[in-house]
Structure 1
Amino acid sequence: MTEGNHGNAHRRQSVIMHVDMDAFFVSVEILHDPSLAGRPVIVGHDSMRSVVLSASYDCRAVGVRSAMPVSRAKQLAPHALIVEPKHWLYAEASEQVMALLREITPLVEQVSVDEAFLDVTGSMRRLGRPREIGQRIRDEIQHRLNLPSSVGIGPNKFVAKMASTHAKPNGLLEVPPRDVVAFLQKKPVRALWGVGPKTAETLERVGIKTVEDLAHTPRATLTKLLGSSGAHLHDLSWGIDHRTIQTGREEKSIGAEETFAKDVWDFDFLEAEVLKLSYKVARRLRNASLVARGVTLKLKYADFVTVSRSVTLGSASNSATVFAQAINQLLINERPKMRAVRLIGVRCDHLSDDSGERQFTFERSDSNWPAIDAVADAIAQKFSDAVPLPATLLKSPAKAQSPRLPQDPLT
């Protein structure tokens, strides 16, 4: 067995994905202002000392790059529109993307505002083969958020990252363990993660120009050339990367939000949204075997003022109906001060493990709702195309005419 094959065998059971949003700031700006679609766009402050934060792909085709001075970018793309950055928009979109990814698996490592690693090894029995999961992620991001993304799939983080880079823009590439060495070693050494211009010059000076050259250079030689990073790069050249997904935090709360395409005044419609979001959050809690003791209503008004109202439940729950009842009371309390609503959100906190057994009865009491939810979950698991919903959501005319952005369906 070759050195490279040995490294891949060590990780062959893992399936790691790297999700990278395409021209993220530009894509979000187009959502905010559709007139920008199809036009060359550079996101950055239009001043001599500013740098490019993001550029559309037609601008990149003529050499515009992130961190390039805006003055230089304007020389390369004189017809490009310079758009002032709106970081609050990017943060909001990023939160929505990451929340969507955590619906696939809790093992999500966000590495920047527009990219994350996922370990989907444990999700395949439920969601299918790696490529099917990757395509589902891309479809969901496109359908629900109207944003393009690229996904790379591999046996470890390094290979997944290389695959997503190869797949961009708006693509998907799976590199199974058996293909890792062939995929990597035909690339220039500068393509390796961690090889900057100075390191590349050092390697090329001794004739190491491709990843294959690097792979067949003795580790001792590379260590002498590059120090401790030499051995690390040698591992990467064979596709060896033992790093695991670092979520970086224990889940302290679980929530869902809905941003509307048009500001909403209709109180009945907002109550229906609370119910829909409560079902979404409750399902995530049950999937994670958690219960919540606290619930929070979030409202963002048309003037972007945000208010949050919270309440502690009498007992911990993961029932959508229990959550909706509590949060709708918060909504009623807020009604006298309410104005046009841009966004509504539901969040559950004070989480703990769900270790209680619940017995189903036909008495109409709040304690029965978790059992009813469990039956609905079992139906949804057995019949993947069927998602049991309350009749209110199935028949609501307001829902059919929802002025929400294309995101966050009840799935």
Structure 2
Amino acid sequence: MEEALPIRKIIHVDMDAFYASVEQLDNPELRGKAIAVGGSSKRGVVAAASYEARKFGVRSAMSSVLAKKMCPHLIFVKSNFDRYRELSQRIRNIFFEYTDLVEPLSLDEAYLDVTENKKGNPSATLIAQEIRQKIKEKTSLNASAGISTNKFIAKVASDINKPNGQKTVPPEAVLGFLENLEIKKFYGVGKVTKEKMYRHGIFTGKDLKAKPLEYLQEHFGKSGSYYYHVVRGIHNSAVKPTRTRKSLAAERTFSENISSEVYMLERLETIAEEVERRLTKNNVAGKTITLKIKYSDFTLQTRSKTLPFYISSKSLMLDAVKDLLFQEKMKNSVRLLGISLSNLNNEKKEQQPEPEESIDVQLKFDF
């Protein structure tokens, strides 16, 4: 008799409007008001928005100018990352009270594998409730959580009852949950992919599930296999306590648009110095170098090349970046330049999901 595959209990904890909530916590006069963390200048970008601001459509990564148009009474607050890191560490310490299998995604979210946990609690749902309560008690901040059989579903579920809520998707409910889910809520489906899905008649998980693997691979490339499997509840990526860094990058937004390639090379030299510093700090090197260009009309372009050897020095990066810069003529003046190095020498091949690992074997799992 073939041994059953191990079943996991995964929690995704996501702090609610973390940066903005910390600012409202530390500055009582900001509570209940529409605030944005970030710069208010014409070049500024919103790093985080309070829920009061989100009601007006203000979102992270939005330009400050647009945010102010959407919400004229918006209050801009300067970021304080030392404070965010301090609270993030306090929250992370709570996670470690339950499990050592904690995979931080950023300062404000993390995956936890509580299949076997330090409290001996068989219910991932109750553990998530306890964690959220402790976070509230120790930081006065609200957290939301998603609980399910894998990281993908837990991540999606954590958004369902935000803010200050949680959603459990037990094994027997997974397939129905995914079939009824709007495709735009699938983790990994961004704005561009969403529109492409719509053009192919894919609006829900059920629509996605109806498409054969070959069809999805033909129209969505390598991601097609990912979509095919996750809609069937198959996502075998384990919670990794130490996440492997995939790339290192640095970028700069300029106070004035630049059109001279000579000036661009000067800026790129400074950016390359920063990338070199980060590579040295992390003791890694990479083969694939990417030049990121954001034009004055906000269109974004990336140009990449993969070298036959690993590099980490500024001079070698600049040699490659020069080739990329002069690869084609600039279509407009430039407001941002960035350099990233990927295909690092710390990477390991992740196992691909196997179709036979069906969710059906999990139906009797206690959540």
Same fold (TM over 0.5): yes
What is the aligned partner in structure 2 of residue 51 from structure 1?
45
What is the aligned partner in structure 2 of residue 186 from structure 1?
180
Within the candidate set 203, 227, 231, 2:225 is matched to 231
Deviation at 1:23, TM superposition (A): 0.5
Within the candidate set 7, 15, 29, 2:9 is matched to 15
What is the aligned partner in structure 2 of residue 112 from structure 1?
106
**Does the 8 A contact of 2:32 with 2:52 survive in 1?**
no
Q: Which runs of 5+ in 1 are unaligned?
A: 1-8, 250-411
- Distance in 2, Cα, partners of 1:61 & 1:198: 23
**Does the 8 A contact of 2:98 with 2:119 survive in 1?**
no
Amino acid at match of 2:230: L
What is the aligned partner in structure 1 of residue 237 from structure 2?
243
Amino acid at match of 2:117: S
Instruction: State the Cα deviation string for residues 273-306 of structure 1 (Å, max 9, x = none).
Output: xxxxxxxxxxxxxxxxxxxxxxxxxxxxxxxxxx
Please identify, of 155-164 and 41-50, the stretch whose mean Cα deviation from structure 2 is larger.
Answer: 41-50
Within the candidate set 53, 59, 63, 1:69 is matched to 63
Instruction: State the Cα deviation string for residues 329-358 of structure 1 (Å, max 9, x = none).
Output: xxxxxxxxxxxxxxxxxxxxxxxxxxxxxx
- Distance in 1, Cα, partners of 2:125 & 2:185: 24
Instruction: State the Cα deviation string for residues 62-116 of structure 1 (Å, max 9, x = none).
Output: 1000010111111111112211111111111111111111111110000111000
Tell me, yes or no, if structure 1 residue 140 matches structure 2 residue 142: no
**Does the 8 A contact of 2:158 with 2:166 survive in 1?**
yes
Deviation at 1:10, TM superposition (A): 5.0
User: SS where residue 74 of structure 1 aligns?
Assistant: helix
Within the candidate set 182, 189, 194, 1:200 is matched to 194
Instruction: State the Cα deviation string for residues 241-285 of structure 1 (Å, max 9, x = none).
Output: 000010117xxxxxxxxxxxxxxxxxxxxxxxxxxxxxxxxxxxx
Please identify, of 93-102 and 121-130, the stretch whose mean Cα deviation from structure 2 is larger.
Answer: 121-130
What is the aligned partner in structure 2 of residue 384 from structure 1?
none
Within the candidate set 5, 19, 24, 1:30 is matched to 24
Deviation at 1:127, TM superposition (A): 3.1
What is the aligned partner in structure 1 of residue 252 from structure 2?
none
- Distance in 2, Cα, partners of 1:236 & 1:86: 37
What is the aligned partner in structure 1 of residue 260 from structure 2?
none
**Does the 8 A contact of 2:99 with 2:118 survive in 1?**
no
Tell me, yes or no, if structure 1 residue 157 matches structure 2 residue 119: no
**Does the 8 A contact of 1:124 with 1:130 survive in 2?**
no
Higher helix share: 1
Instruction: State the Cα deviation string for residues 365-411 of structure 1 (Å, max 9, x = none).
Output: xxxxxxxxxxxxxxxxxxxxxxxxxxxxxxxxxxxxxxxxxxxxxxx
Amino acid at match of 1:146: S
Deviation at 1:197, TM superposition (A): 2.5
Within the candidate set 165, 171, 175, 2:169 is matched to 175
User: SS where residue 14 of structure 2 aligns?
Assistant: strand
- Distance in 1, Cα, partners of 2:218 & 2:241: 35
Instruction: State the Cα deviation string for residues 139-158 of structure 1 (Å, max 9, x = none).
Output: 00000111110010000000
Amino acid at match of 2:12: H
User: SS where residue 103 of structure 2 aligns?
Assistant: strand
Identity %: 41
**TM-score (normalizing by structure 1):** 0.56
Deviation at 1:128, TM superposition (A): 4.6
- Distance in 2, Cα, partners of 1:28 & 1:198: 32
Tell me, yes or no, if structure 1 residue 123 matches structure 2 residue 121: no
- Distance in 1, Cα, partners of 2:84 & 2:233: 33
What is the aligned partner in structure 2 of residue 284 from structure 1?
none
Deviation at 1:196, TM superposition (A): 2.0
- Distance in 2, Cα, partners of 1:146 & 1:63: 26
**Does the 8 A contact of 2:24 with 2:30 survive in 1?**
yes
**Does the 8 A contact of 2:97 with 2:118 survive in 1?**
no
Deviation at 1:124, TM superposition (A): 7.7
**Does the 8 A contact of 2:175 with 2:232 survive in 1?**
yes
